[in-house]
Structure 1
Amino acid sequence: MAQIYGAVEFRIEDEWHDVINVSSLLLQHYDLNGCLFGVDNYADFVPLFAGRGVPEDCSENLKQKVFTYLDDESWPSWVLYSELACIDWDERAVSRDYRISEYVVYGDGKEKFVTKWLNRLEHDWVREALETELEVRSGDRVFRRPVLRRADAIPDTEFGLLMKLMGCLADRFGVDGVRLVVWFG
């Protein structure tokens, strides 16, 4: 799992200034990284902002950080607040999630999400069955490989808080004067 690094920047005239370190907010989230930047994209989203590189005009402080940690597998990119604000969160991934979603079913028939996983040797039969079936049941467990919506990448993240912070900056510096610059490690 790739860890996200980066910052939010705002622009005054022609100069960008970094203001928020995003590592502590976004932590490690496969689905969000895949949805936005194509990294750890097990849900098979069409990434919206992948491979843009490091902006040449980023703040000097951010340039130093980026080039200290950047390597061939850092997948640097960036996105304006105006682009993030226009995302269609109902858009679905291209195909079913490569991971298997596991749920427990209670006596009243209600399901509760347990975990997602890629490979469990003792559950090879589940992966094989899900090649042709939409779900597999075993006792009180249900296994699926759903097609996710972009909105499914948001729960359990601080993306909403990041958008609020960026929105506050956009109120002052304009929606195209605020951007998120990221890389992965």
Structure 2
Amino acid sequence: MGTDISGFLEYRAAPQDDREPAWHTAHDLGSLYGGRDYDAFGCLFGVRNHANFRPLAAGRGLPADASAAVKARFAQLTRWYGGDGFHGTTWIAWHEVKAVDWDEPADRPDSRLHEYRRTPNGLRMTGKAAWSPAFADAVGLERGEDRQWPEGSEWLVGDTLYRSVTIRRRDAVTETGGWRPVWEAMDALAAQHGDDNVRLVVWFDD
């Protein structure tokens, strides 16, 4: 079973009277992002963090001042699932996204070995393996044994090269990838309301 992300973009607008500024819903995340990318989930929010990043915004929970639409949706999910069907609720502000060093590497090598095949044009990455029977047999791993391999370690098993790699944030959240429409929408809202007054609220379900 996979893990999916849901959420909303919010903005905080100055009121026309003396009341405190309130948060409003701008976009359903599903209208901007429809992917399931665990490297991005881990890098940004600490969910499915197989690549071992220091998450940017993990475990913050639902903002106490969330918009009415977000609170209503969250209450609905709680009634449906009793709190067991969704998890990882958190949020990140636009000014935090803007300040990210996308060249920052993960804290440790990816828990999954990167797999490559040799081609006439050089190595071609074919995937990542949390567990590979062929690799386990080659190096003597027991079923379910979890081992952290040093950065750069590699093994050629048949036609497949297995390599231990530490990835950077920009590898997980690529500049032209699925998160680009989200960042563009947040940037547009910030141009009107300010960087501190735009945020993304998310949660996950399995």
TM-score > 0.5 by shorter chain:
yes
Aligned amino acid, residue 96 of structure 2 = E
- Find the counterpart in structure 1 of residue 72 from structure 2: 64
Greater Rg by CA = 2
Cα deviations across residues 28-80 of structure 1 (Å, max 9, x unaligned)?
11111101111000000011111111001111111111232252551110111
1:130–1:136 contact (8 Å) kept in structure 2:
no
Whole-Å separation in 2 of the counterparts to 1:53 and 1:37: 11
Distance change in 2, residues 1:163/1:100 (3 Å): same
- Find the counterpart in structure 1 of residue 23 from structure 2: 16
Q: CA deviation at 1:22?
A: 1.5
Larger mean Cα displacement after TM superposition, 150-159 or 120-129: 120-129
Q: 2:198 aligns with which of 163, 175, 178?
A: 178
Q: CA deviation at 1:130?
A: 7.8
- Find the counterpart in structure 1 of residue 137 from structure 2: 125
Q: Count residues in correspondence.
A: 184
List alignment gaps of at least 5 residues for structure 2. Answer: 15-20, 142-146
Distance change in 2, residues 1:126/1:153 (3 Å): farther
Aligned amino acid, residue 5 of structure 1 = S
Distance change in 2, residues 1:179/1:135 (3 Å): same
Q: CA RMSD in A?
A: 2.1
Distance change in 2, residues 1:28/1:158 (3 Å): same
Q: TM (normalized to structure 1)?
A: 0.90
Are residue 101 (structure 1) and residue 117 (structure 2) matched?
Answer: no
- Find the counterpart in structure 2 of residue 115 from structure 1: 127
- Find the counterpart in structure 2 of residue 3 from structure 1: 4
1:126–1:143 contact (8 Å) kept in structure 2:
no
Equivalent position SS for 2:196: coil
Q: TM (normalized to structure 2)?
A: 0.81
Whole-Å separation in 2 of the counterparts to 1:60 and 1:177: 16
Distance change in 2, residues 1:47/1:77 (3 Å): same
Q: CA deviation at 1:140?
A: 3.3
List alignment gaps of at least 5 residues for structure 1. Answer: none
- Find the counterpart in structure 1 of residue 43 from structure 2: 35
Whole-Å separation in 1 of the counterparts to 2:161 and 2:51: 19
1:130–1:144 contact (8 Å) kept in structure 2:
no
Equivalent position SS for 1:179: strand
Cα deviations across residues 143-169 of structure 1 (Å, max 9, x unaligned)?
112011111102484112211111011
1:103–1:142 contact (8 Å) kept in structure 2:
yes
% identical aligned pairs: 33
